[in-house]
Amino acid sequence: MRTADGTNLHALQDYLGLHLSRDGLEPLNRQLYRHLRGAILSGLLARGSALPASRSLCDAMNLGRNTVLHAYGQLEAEGYVVSRAGAGTYVSDALPDPPPVGTEESQAAPSPLPLSKRAQSLLKGIQQRGSPETPTFAPGMPDTSTFPWALWLRLQQRHQRSAQGTDLGYLSNGGHPALKAALATYLRLSRGVNCEAEQILITSSMQQAFHLVALATADAGDTVWMEEPGYPGARFAWQAAGLRIEPVATDAEGLRWHGSEPDPRLIYVTPSHQYPLGCVMSLARRHALLQEAAERDAWLVEDDYDSEFRHDGRPLAAMQGLDRQGRVIYLGTLSKVLFPALRMGYLVAPPDLVEPLRILQARLMREGSYIEQATLADFIEDGHFGAHLRRMRGIYAKRQSKLREALAAHLGDWLADSESPRPDQIALLGGAAGMHLTLRLPAGLDDRLFSQQLGDMGMLAPALSGYCLRPPPFPGLVLGYGGADDATLMLAAVRLARFLAEVLRRHNIDGRQ
Amino acid sequence: MRTADGTNLHALQDYLGLHLSRDGLEPLNRQLYRHLRGAILSGLLARGSALPASRSLCDAMNLGRNTVLHAYGQLEAEGYVVSRAGAGTYVSDALPDPPPVGTEESQAAPSPLPLSKRAQSLLKGIQQRGSPETPTFAPGMPDTSTFPWALWLRLQQRHQRSAQGTDLGYLSNGGHPALKAALATYLRLSRGVNCEAEQILITSSMQQAFHLVALATADAGDTVWMEEPGYPGARFAWQAAGLRIEPVATDAEGLRWHGSEPDPRLIYVTPSHQYPLGCVMSLARRHALLQEAAERDAWLVEDDYDSEFRHDGRPLAAMQGLDRQGRVIYLGTLSKVLFPALRMGYLVAPPDLVEPLRILQARLMREGSYIEQATLADFIEDGHFGAHLRRMRGIYAKRQSKLREALAAHLGDWLADSESPRPDQIALLGGAAGMHLTLRLPAGLDDRLFSQQLGDMGMLAPALSGYCLRPPPFPGLVLGYGGADDATLMLAAVRLARFLAEVLRRHNIDGRQ
C-alpha cells in the first residue's frame, strides 16, 4: 500500500472490503475511521503516504461522500492525517513507528505484566475452594426462594415513586436514618447490643465493613488475631489491607490465646457461633477477651454473622453489650436474613470511631441506595422482618435435623453421638445456630481431596483445611444447608454419606472400634 | 445494695424504678435482665450477694412472675447468677472485678485508641475540602432532576417481577451479561474502545474500580504516577492501597513527565478531559505515554469520567483503542450520565486481567444487583441512554455558557479572554467537556481561604490546592455546574463574582494592567 493515491487505492479497497460491515450495527463513517486508523497505526498505510482522494474512495467502495469526509475529518482532528490544500490528504509523519509485525486485527503478542504479589497470594487462597455450578452445601448461602419478594417490592415502590433528586445523588449519612433507628432498636432488644442509632453505619457488605475497619484501625504490617479455623472472607480482607494474620486456636469456649502471641491491633471473633466450628464463646472467655483487648490496646471485631438463626434456646447477648472500653466493633449482615443481592450489612462502632468510618466510607467506597434502605426500615418496623426471621429459623432448624437424620441413616456406627468422636468416627459439630454444620472426619483423611471429589460430583462442601492457616485441628468439611431446598439437600446428603462410607471403608475405618 | 435479700431489695427497687420503662417499646423481662446485668457488671450488685426472691421483686416492682423468672433465667444461662436449690439466687463469684467507679449508665471513661496512621492521613486530605449543606458548584454532581425516573422504574419493575432465587443470591459473573454486551457496543462505537463484552467488569463505583485495580496490579510501596493537579478520589484510593504517589505535572497536551521519575507500576490519567484543568491529551502525547508505559512495565489507568458530555466537537477516541500491549485499563462511571445512587461504573480490562479482577471483586467486595444492571441494559438498548445523554449534553453546555456569561458580566476586565491570563487577571479553564470549569486566580491569592469563605456563604467550590500534592501551579477554584438548576446556579455565580471582585479590589488587582 506504500504508494501514492491511485495504486494505494486498490490495496485499501481490499482491506476495507474485508473489514467494512453493512449490517447496520455500526455507522459506516465510524467503521471507515476505525479501519483507516488501524491501517495507519499498523503501518499498512505508511507515514507520509497519500490517502485516496475522498471521491475515488467513495466510488471504489460504494460509500456516500459524507461518510468518507466524516472519517477523514475525524482522522485529521485526531492528528492521524494532515490535509494539504489542493494536494490531498497524507498520513502524518509525526506518528510513532508502527510495531514490527501484524495489523490491528492480528495484534503483536502483548508482553503480559504480572499481577501484584498481594493479588497472587489472595487468588491462591481463594481458588483453593473451587466453585462447581450447583451450590449444594455451599456455606453462607441462604434460602432466597422463601423471601416475601412481592411484599418487598410493594414497600419499595412507595419509596421509589417518591424518590427525589437528592435520593439519587451522592449520599454520606452513613445510611438512611430510619434504617439506622430500626436496626438500633432491633439490636438492643434482640442481641443485647448497647447502641444508639448514630453508632450504626450501613455497609454494602460484611466485606466492606472488614475493609473499612482494617483501614481505620490498623496499618499495613499490624497484627490481627484470627480464630483458627476461621472465616476465609475475613482473612482475605485483612490480607488485602496488608495486615499480618496471627492464627489463634479455638476450644469449646471460643478463642484460646496463650499470651505469647504478638500484640494485636485487631482481634476478630465470631462469639455467637464460631465460624466454622460452631461453638459459642463462654461468658468467662468473653470477659477475659475484653480484658485482654484492653490490656493490649486492641480493637475487638465481633462478627455476629448468623446469630439470628439460633436453634438452641435463647441467644447469648452480644460481646458488644459487655464492653466498657469502647473497643468492640460489632458487625452484622442482612444477606443471610433477607437476600444476598440486597447488598446490605451494618456495623456498630464505638462513638469516637463513627465519624471517621462514615467519612472513609463516603469518600473511598460510596454508600448504597437509600431507597432500598428506607424499604428495609419499613420492612423491619411493620414486623415483616421479625416474621420472616421466625419463619426462616423454623425452616433452617428443620432442614438441619433432616440433614442430620439423612447422614445418620447412611453412616450408622461411623457417626459419633457427641462432638468428641473416637478416632475411627466422624462427628457433626455446631448447629446451635446458623445455616451450616461442620463434619469432623477421622484423622488421616485428606479433606481437600475429599472436597474436590465432592466438587466433581456437583457438591460444594469446602475442606476445613481451607479455613486454616496452619494444619487443621482435624480434617473436616463445612456443610451449608441454607441454600438448597429440602429435596435437593436430602438427595445430596445421601450421595455424600454413601461416598463418605466408601472412602472410610477404603481406609479400613469401621467405626466400631 | 451489698446486703442479702430483703435490704438488697429496696436499693434494687430504686435502681429499677429509675430504669424500667413501661412505654411498651422493650419487653419488661428484657429490660429487667439488662438492668440487672448492668448492676452486676458495675458492682452495684456485689459478687456473691443474693438477689431478691423472685416473688418479692414481683411485688415490689409490680411485675409479672414470668417477667422476673425469665430475666433471672437468662442471667443464669449466661453465667451472671447462680441458683442454689432452696437457697435462692446469687451473683456469680466467677465474674471479673467491676470497674472502679460508675454504673452501666455512667460508664467509666473509655481509654480511646488512636486511628491507624493511614486513616489519619486519609482523613486529613479528605477534610481539607469541607462540605456545606448546599451543593452549589460541587464538582462531579450531575443534575438528577432531569432523569427519566418514571421510565426507569417501569423498565426496572419488569425485571423485579421476574426476579428468581438466583438473582437474589451471591453474584459472580463480573456483571449482568446483557449489560456488559450493551456497554461493549456503546464503548466501541462512541469511545473507540477496542473491547469485547467479556473484558468488561461492572463495578459499584469508580472508587471500587480504583481499589480493585490497585490491589490486582500493584503492591504496597509501589509507585503510581498521578496528574498534578489531579483527582483526589483517585489519590485517596491509591493511598488507601498503600501506593506511593508521584505527582507529575500537566501542560496543555496532558501529562508531561521528565523521565527522571521513579518507575511507576501504575500511571493514572484523564486524557479526554484532564481533571480538573480540562485540557485534552494530544494524540502525540498519548502515543508517547503508551510507549513510556511499555518501556517501564507499567499499567495505564485511563479514567474517562465525563467524556460523554463533550461540548466541543467530536470526542477523541479513548487511549485504550490505541493500546497494542494490553496495558490500558479503561474506567468509566454511570453516576454522571444517569444518577450517583445507581452505584454503577465499569472497567474494561486487558484480557489477561479480567478473570483475576472478577474473582477479587466477587470475593473481596461482592457484586451489585443484577436487577438494576438488567434494567440499565434495556435502557441502553431501547435508546433511552443515548437520548438522555444528548439531552443532558445540551443542558450542561447551555448551563456552562450561562455560567461564563454571568461571571463575565460581573468580572469585566478581570476576566481574560483566553486560558493564558495576564498576572492580574483570572481565567476560566477547561469546558470542552463535562460538568465543571476551573477558575484560575491571580498568583498570590490563597485559594483555600477563598474556598472556605465561599463555603461559609453556602457554596462548595474546592480550592485547586486540594487537588495537588505540591504547591499548585496557580491558585484556583473548581466550579461544578452540573448539580444545581439554572436559577440557583446564576444566583450563586453572581454572589461568587461579586465576592471575587471584592477580594481582587482588596488585593489592588485591577485587571487593566
Instruction: Using the predicted structure, report yes or no on whether residue B166 has a pLDDT greater than 80.
Output: no
pLDDT in tens, B79-125: 888 888 788 888 888 776 655 443 444 445 566 789 999 999 999 88
Decide which of B150 and B79 is more confident: B150
CB contacts < 8 A, A to B, total 263
CB contact under 8 A, B108 and A324: yes
CA pair distance A369, A171, nearest whole angstrom: 8
Residue whose C-alpha is closest to residue A342's, from A385, A309, A395, A308: A385
CA pair distance A117, A123, nearest whole angstrom: 10
Q: State how far the alpha carbon of A373 is from the alpha carbons of A152, A175, B290, in Å.
A: 12, 7, 44
In angstroms, what separates the C-alpha of B91 from chain A's closest C-alpha?
14
Angle at A444 between CA A439 and CA A448, to 5 degrees: 60
Helices then strands, counting H and E runs in chain A, come out as 15, 13
In angstroms, what separates the C-alpha of B388 from chain A's closest C-alpha?
16
In angstroms, what separates the C-alpha of A279 from chain B's closest C-alpha?
15
Contacts of A237 in chain B (CB under 8 A): 364
CA pair distance B83, B91, nearest whole angstrom: 9
CA pair distance A98, A93, nearest whole angstrom: 12
Helix, strand, coil fractions of chain B, as percent rounded to 5? 45, 15, 40
Closest residue in A to B280 (Cα) is A78
Q: What is the pLDDT of residue B188?
A: 86
- Please tell me which of the candidates B27, B168, B218 has its beta carbon nearest to residue A144: B168
- Please tell me which of the candidates B126, B211, B352 has its beta carbon nearest to residue A112: B352
Q: What is the mean pLDDT of residues A321-345?
A: 92
Mean pLDDT of the residues in chain B = 88
CB contact under 8 A, A110 and B192: no
**Comparing A75-84, A181-190, B101-110, B378-387, which segment has the lowest mean pLDDT?**
B101-110
Phi-psi category of residue B12: left, alpha or beta, with phi > 0 → left and psi -120 to 50 → alpha? alpha
Contacts of A322 in chain B (CB under 8 A): 41
Q: What is the pLDDT of residue A8?
A: 57
CB contact under 8 A, A364 and B242: no
Instruction: Using the predicted structure, report yes or no on whether residue B2 has a pLDDT greater than 50.
Output: no
DSSP 3-state assignment of B333? strand
Angle at A240 between CA A239 and CA A246, to 5 degrees: 15
pLDDT in tens, B200-221: 999 999 999 999 999 999 999 9
In angstroms, what separates the C-alpha of A220 from chain B's closest C-alpha?
8
CB contact under 8 A, B299 and A113: yes
Mutation choice for B interface testing from A151, A162, A312, A363 by most B CBs within 10 A: A363
Instruction: Using the predicted structure, report yes or no on whether residue A481 has a pLDDT greater than 90.
Output: yes
Three-state SS sequence of B291-302: HHHHHCCCEEEE
Residue whose C-alpha is closest to residue A66's, from A81, A54, A56: A54
HSE on the CB side for B91, CA within 13 Å?
Answer: 27
Q: What is the mean pLDDT of residues A448-461?
A: 91
Q: Which amino acid is residue B503, in one-letter code?
A: V
In angstroms, what separates the C-alpha of A479 from chain B's closest C-alpha?
17
CB contact under 8 A, A77 and B327: no
Mutation choice for B interface testing from A171, A360, A392, A460 by most B CBs within 10 A: A360
Contacts of B368 in chain A (CB under 8 A): 343
Instruction: Using the predicted structure, report yes or no on whether residue B130 has a pLDDT greater than 60.
Output: no
pLDDT in tens, B319-351: 999 998 999 999 999 988 899 888 899 999 999
- Please tell me which of the candidates B74, B144, B219 has its beta carbon nearest to residue A169: B144
Mutation choice for B interface testing from A145, A167, A236, A325 by most B CBs within 10 A: A325
Instruction: Using the predicted structure, report yes or no on whether residue A354 has a pLDDT greater than 80.
Output: yes
Q: Which amino acid is residue A196, in one-letter code?
A: E
HSE on the CB side for B178, CA within 13 Å?
Answer: 14
Contacts of B350 in chain A (CB under 8 A): 110
Contacts of A236 in chain B (CB under 8 A): 363-364
DSSP 3-state assignment of A323? coil
Using 50, 70 and 90 to split pLDDT, how confident is the model at A161?
A: confident
Q: Percentage of chain B with pLDDT > 90?
A: 57
- Please tell me which of the candidates B30, B99, B185 has its beta carbon nearest to residue A189: B30
In angstroms, what separates the C-alpha of B130 from chain A's closest C-alpha?
11
Question: Hey, what's the cell of A442?
Answer: 477421622
Q: What is the pLDDT of residue B4?
A: 42
Residue whose C-alpha is closest to residue A166's, from B391, B396, B462, B483: B483
HSE on the CB side for B395, CA within 13 Å?
Answer: 20
Q: What is the pLDDT of residue A221?
A: 96
Q: Classify residue B133 by burial, with Cβ atoms within 10 Å: 0-12, 13-18, 19+.
A: exposed
In angstroms, what separates the C-alpha of A115 from chain B's closest C-alpha?
5
CB contact under 8 A, A356 and B123: yes
Phi-psi category of residue A24: left, alpha or beta, with phi > 0 → left and psi -120 to 50 → alpha? left
Using 50, 70 and 90 to split pLDDT, how confident is the model at A93?
A: confident
Complete edge-to-edge strand list for the sheet that includes strand A266-269: A200-203, A345-348, A328-333, A299-303, A266-269, A223-228, A244-251, A254-255
In angstroms, what separates the C-alpha of A175 from chain B's closest C-alpha?
12
- Please tell me which of the candidates A30, A317, A371 has its beta carbon nearest to residue B78: A317
Q: Which residues contact B336 (CB under 8 A, 6 or more apart)?
A: B140, B142, B305, B306, B308, B309, B435, B482
Q: DSSP for A218-279?
A: --TT-EEEEEES--HHHHHHHHHTTPEEEEEEEETTEE---S-SPPPSEEEE-TTS-TTT--
Q: What is the mean pLDDT of residues A26-31?
A: 85
Q: Percentage of chain B with pLDDT > 70?
A: 92
DSSP 3-state assignment of B162? coil
Contacts of A100 in chain B (CB under 8 A): none
Contacts of B316 in chain A (CB under 8 A): 77-78
Q: DSSP for B1-64?
A: --S-TTHHHHHHHHHHHHH---SSSS-HHHHHHHHHHHHHHTTSS-TTPBPPPHHHHHHHHT--
Contacts of A369 in chain B (CB under 8 A): 341-343
Identify the helix (H) or strand (E) that includes residue B269.
Answer: strand B266-269
Phi-psi category of residue A48: left, alpha or beta, with phi > 0 → left and psi -120 to 50 → alpha? left
Contacts of B264 in chain A (CB under 8 A): none
HSE on the CB side for A84, CA within 13 Å?
Answer: 9
CB contact under 8 A, A233 and B107: no
Q: What is the mean pLDDT of residues B164-168?
A: 77
- Please tell me which of the candidates B189, B298, B363 has its beta carbon nearest to residue A236: B363
Q: State how far the alpha carbon of A73 is from the alpha carbons of A21, B308, B503, in Å.
A: 21, 20, 46
Question: Hey, what's the cell of A344?
Answer: 446490605
Q: DSSP for A81-139?
A: EEEETTTEEEE-TTSPPPPSS--SSSPPPP-PPPPPHHHHHHHHHHHTT---SS-BT-T
Identify the helix (H) or strand (E) that includes residue B345.
Answer: strand B345-348
pLDDT in tens, B345-391: 999 999 999 999 999 999 899 888 899 999 999 999 999 999 999 99
Question: Hey, what's the cell of B319?
Answer: 487511549
In angstroms, what separates the C-alpha of B31 from chain A's closest C-alpha?
9
Using 50, 70 and 90 to split pLDDT, how confident is the model at A50?
A: confident
Q: How is residue B146 annotated by DSSP?
A: T
